[in-house]
Chains A and B, each alone.
Chain A
Amino acid sequence: MEFWIIQTFNGVSYGALLFLLAGGLTLIFGMMRIVNMTHGSYYLLGGYVGLTVIWQGGHFVLAILVGALAIAVVGIGEYNAFLKRLAGQELGQVLTTMGFALIFQDLGLVIWGGDPYTIPVPAVLSGSYTIGQLYFPVYRIFIAVVAVAIAVILWLVLERTRLGAMIRATVDDVEMARGVGINVPLISMGVFAFGAFLASVAGVVAGGFVGVYPGADFEILPYAFVVVIVGGMGSLKGALIGALMVGLLDNFGKALFPELSYFTLFAPMAAILAIRPTGLFGRT
């Protein structure tokens, strides 16, 4: 019993981290049809910038904000200078974003070196609550709280505000959105920047948990894609459910059948896609 509770808790908190990462990815895809291979780089660079802020004596919360804002600016630059011109050209976009991912990887190596780092977290977030034989690391609870908070804010913005309505309209039908006078390029850029922002939040938060190190970008990217594909591209609800599923599957897969951990992750994905080719909440 104890085993199942701890593993479920671990899975949920890992899923929360994946949601932060996949939330932005799914929005970007839904809106611009961009399969953004740079997303993992935003995660990694965000972690590095956050780490630098802490090295300079900054607080952890400041590190998250500065890291996320800095990378959002990078995202805006990449979008305006390159991706905007490639609107509608999927292959060109994939290759461009892939190229950027490789460039950012080398850049990270040049600036921060190859050492792995863990981002030091404030004392309030370290340690764990114990109930009998059960232990719940505070930091994992924190990750879950951040994810839930962001999910709620996102949902409120998308469903309850004028901006949200414009975003939804653009996701649903670009032509029509343009027709009713929505500034589609501006909205797209905003969403792209926000996606980068979320990825970097995930990067800084993950830095206190799995560390920041070269290669983290390409290690995490497949997970984010699985979440988005299982959940349905463009669906925030899908990303949330997908992230929880992947977090739990990955966790239980590794705990119960470590030799088959990729099977336990990808087999359910394949099964879901066989039944629902657009993912759980994807629209056809």
Chain B
Amino acid sequence: MILRVFALGVALLLMTSTAAAQEPIRVGFITDLTGPLAQPGKEMENGIRLFLAEHKNTLSGRPVELTVLDGGSSPAVALTKARELVEQRKVHVIIGPLPAFEAYAIVPYLNEKRIPSLSPSAAADDLTQRKATQFFVRVASTSSQPTQPFGTYAAKTLGYKKVATIADDFAFGHEVVAGFHKAFEDAGGQIVQKLWPPLGTKDQGPFIARLRKDIDAVFIGFAGVAALRFLKQFEEAGLKGKIAVLANQTAVDEALLRSMGDEALGVISTMHYSAALETPANRKFVAAYRKGFGTDPGYYSVGAYTAGLFLKQALEQVGGKVENTDNFLKALRSVAIADAPGGPIRLDKYGQAVHNIYIRRVEKRDGRLQNTVIHTIENGSQFWTYPEAEFLKQPVYSRDYPPCRFC
């Protein structure tokens, strides 16, 4: 009798423990599926879906349950969705959201609820600088992380002396320009003009007409369709070939490049990734992505895919026990991947990716435009070559910092 009860007890125990092993890892994914950011949002989702499909929806022996919700391009909506994910779906970890203004809205809440989050896209510098928190890591660049080395490169290697900047008039635009501005001037160049078309400006004409004619290059910092119009109208204005165009990480992203024509040829840009990167890991990633979605991966898809890689390695370190938040976070922050699609990547002590930064030129191969890598900066930090303490003491990069001394 006692033996039977014991056996039953053991059987029950075994059942619950196998049930625990089968309990899925619940991953919440917030991206934008409607509104002006719907297309990048879709690419972000493609990235994570490709990753999970490649791993048969299983990480570290546990099935993964992915819930994708729409942040709606609004801080309030994103916060509501984050709440739904945490309180109703009981997710263990959140990937997303897409824009920084949504990230700023949900990060304090996730801190309060102790939910680890991985950002594959939202780039605002301060999220991993002065406002860095334990529960937030970012596997993509900060806004200024790739533009700082680019500023140095433009002055030292390209030899440009006078550059004008033109960028979307919102935080992301301000930060990408500021990073370029500081590094370019520290390397001996001069920013002589800064133009800020309001976000959503339909006609870039008035700004292009204002560009000074005595500049060597114009640096553009656009996050969407504005880049498409700018290059087109820049060419129509007869300036293509006379003034070089330098671009931030998103202006000639693969997601836009396929909509562009020859007007984009020759644009030199900076980013932590290029679909044209010739590494085995990337060739494999690009081939799988093309097969799945018919296009080249870019900023948004590679970010989400890389977030998947981080999740996988962190889970393997803790044997799939995502429930132990402290251990999982520690593992997450110590992840180092040697062969991510964008090359080696790890996190600094602020939870920010340290990774290669590529200088790329738009070229045409087999009838399609691509970002050919022309220079690689290895281990690009968010602080570039500046001492960390000094960097954090200066004001946050903004519309007015650094001030325009040569305008």
Chain A residue nearest to B210 (CB atoms) is A255
Q: B206 touching A130 by the CB < 8 A rule?
A: no
Tell me whether B188 is interfacial, beta carbon within 8 Å: no
What A residues does B169 contact at CB under 8 A? Answer: 258-259
Tell me whether A215 is interfacial, beta carbon within 8 Å: yes
| Bound Cα distance from A3 to B237, whole angstroms | 13
Tell me whether A118 is interfacial, beta carbon within 8 Å: yes
Q: B39 touching A10 by the CB < 8 A rule?
A: no
| Bound Cα distance from A120 to B262, whole angstroms | 11
**Shortest Cβ distance from A106 into chain B, in angstroms?**
7
B87-95, B127-135, B228-236, B389-397 - interface stretch: B228-236
Q: B200 touching A219 by the CB < 8 A rule?
A: yes
Q: Report which residue of A128, A214, A250, A251 has the largest number of chain B beta carbons within 10 angstroms of its beta carbon.
A: A214
**Shortest Cβ distance from B160 into chain A, in angstroms?**
22
Tell me whether A82 is interfacial, beta carbon within 8 Å: no
Q: B203 touching A10 by the CB < 8 A rule?
A: yes
Interface size counted on chain B using CB atoms at 8 A: 37
Q: A259 touching B202 by the CB < 8 A rule?
A: no
| Bound Cα distance from A130 to B237, whole angstroms | 9
**Shortest Cβ distance from B242 into chain A, in angstroms?**
11
Q: B198 touching A109 by the CB < 8 A rule?
A: no
Tell me whether A117 is interfacial, beta carbon within 8 Å: yes
What B residues does A109 contact at CB under 8 A? Answer: 34, 38
User: Assuming A115-B255, A115-B259, A214-B36, is B224 touching A14 (CB within 8 A)?
Assistant: no
Q: B197 touching A117 by the CB < 8 A rule?
A: no
What A residues does B224 contact at CB under 8 A? Answer: 116, 213
Residue from A7, A117, A137, A254 in contact with B237 in the complex, judged by beta carbons closer than 8 Å: A137
**Shortest Cβ distance from A263 into chain B, in angstroms?**
11
What B residues does A14 contact at CB under 8 A? Answer: 203, 205
Q: B210 touching A3 by the CB < 8 A rule?
A: yes
Tell me whether B22 is interfacial, beta carbon within 8 Å: no
Tell me whether A211 is interfacial, beta carbon within 8 Å: yes
What A residues does B36 contact at CB under 8 A? Answer: 213-215
Q: B203 touching A128 by the CB < 8 A rule?
A: no
**Shortest Cβ distance from A218 into chain B, in angstroms?**
9
Chain B residue nearest to A133 (CB atoms) is B213
| Bound Cα distance from A232 to B238, whole angstroms | 38
For A204-220 the 0/1 string (1 means CB < 8 A from B) is 00000111011100011
| Bound Cα distance from A113 to B201, whole angstroms | 21
| Bound Cα distance from A113 to B169, whole angstroms | 26
Q: B236 touching A211 by the CB < 8 A rule?
A: no
Among residues 73 to 117 in chain A, which have CB atoms less than 8 Å away from a CB atom of chain B? Answer: 106, 109, 113-117
Tell me whether A261 is interfacial, beta carbon within 8 Å: yes
Among residues 26 to 68 in chain B, which have CB atoms less than 8 Å away from a CB atom of chain A? Answer: 34-36, 38-42
Tell me whether B207 is interfacial, beta carbon within 8 Å: yes
Q: B206 touching A7 by the CB < 8 A rule?
A: yes
| Bound Cα distance from A140 to B38, whole angstroms | 30
**Shortest Cβ distance from A74 into chain B, in angstroms?**
21
What B residues does A126 contact at CB under 8 A? Answer: 236
| Bound Cα distance from A7 to B203, whole angstroms | 12
| Bound Cα distance from A239 to B38, whole angstroms | 34
Q: B236 touching A116 by the CB < 8 A rule?
A: no
**Shortest Cβ distance from A46 into chain B, in angstroms?**
16
Chain B residue nearest to A13 (CB atoms) is B205
What B residues does A117 contact at CB under 8 A? Answer: 259
User: Assuming A3-B210, A254-B207, A258-B196, is B261 touching A120 (CB within 8 A)?
Assistant: yes
Tell me whether A55 is interfacial, beta carbon within 8 Å: no
User: Assuming A118-B228, A120-B261, is B39 touching A255 (CB within 8 A)?
Assistant: no
Q: B206 touching A210 by the CB < 8 A rule?
A: no
What B residues does A254 contact at CB under 8 A? Answer: 197-198, 201, 203, 206-207
Tell me whether A135 is interfacial, beta carbon within 8 Å: yes
**Shortest Cβ distance from B328 into chain A, in angstroms?**
34
Tell me whether B276 is interfacial, beta carbon within 8 Å: no
Q: B202 touching A210 by the CB < 8 A rule?
A: yes
Residue from B205, B228, B238, B258 in contact with A130 in the complex, judged by beta carbons closer than 8 Å: B238
User: Assuming A114-B42, A210-B229, A214-B38, is B206 touching A255 (CB within 8 A)?
Assistant: yes
| Bound Cα distance from A211 to B232, whole angstroms | 10
Q: Report which residue of A118, A139, A140, A220 has the largest number of chain B beta carbons within 10 angstroms of its beta carbon.
A: A118
Tell me whether A127 is interfacial, beta carbon within 8 Å: yes
| Bound Cα distance from A130 to B36, whole angstroms | 36
Q: 12 more A-B contacts (CB under 8 A) besides A137-B236, A254-B198?
A: A7-B206, A14-B205, A114-B39, A115-B259, A118-B232, A128-B238, A137-B237, A209-B203, A210-B202, A258-B198, A259-B196, A261-B198
The 8 A-B residue pairs whose C-beta atoms are closest, nearest first, are A114-B39, A255-B206, A116-B225, A137-B236, A215-B36, A114-B38, A10-B205, A254-B206
Give residues in B with beta carbon < 8 Å to A. Answer: 34-36, 38-42, 169, 195-198, 200-203, 205-207, 209-210, 213, 224-225, 228-229, 232-233, 236-238, 255-256, 258-259, 261
6 A-B interface contacts by CB (under 8 A): A14-B205, A115-B259, A116-B39, A135-B236, A209-B203, A220-B202
